Amino acid sequence: MPVVPSVASLAPPGEASLCLEEVAPPASGTRKARVLYDYEAADSSELALLADESWGQVHPWSGCDRPLLPSLQLITVYSLPGMDPDWLIGERGNKKGKVPVTYLELLS
């Protein structure tokens, strides 16, 4: 069974670091989110974000001179008990860390 971190390990950025190995998504309550803005992680407890990074790119091998449709940057997000409500835990591939809610559009 996954270990849920204590509230103390979820301190705001710049204070105590989050022990990511101990964080597991809840059985329910995960959501997908679209990244709205680029975000540079302040430390190893945070997840860097890139907003719709493929917008406007034209791939030369496509035979098309029009920009491709945006490739949405989607991540899985969830909250843990005692977390600051301005932050969520975000997961993308095998990377995990805190992300600011204001940089996301939560999808249903």
- Would you write out the chain's pLDDT as a tens digit for each of its 108 residues? 333 333 334 555 454 555 766 667 776 789 999 999 999 999 999 999 988 654 434 445 455 555 554 556 789 999 988 999 999 999 988 899 999 999 999 987
The structure's pTM equals 0.64
Which homologous superfamily does the CATH classification assign to the domain defined by 7-106?
A: SH3 Domains (2.30.30.40)
Q: What are the residue boundaries of the structural domains of the chain, listed by start?
A: 7-106
Q: Is 96 helix (H, G, I), strand (E, B) or coil?
A: strand
| DSSP SS3 for 88 | strand
Give the N- to C-terminal CA distance of the chain in Å, as an integer: 27
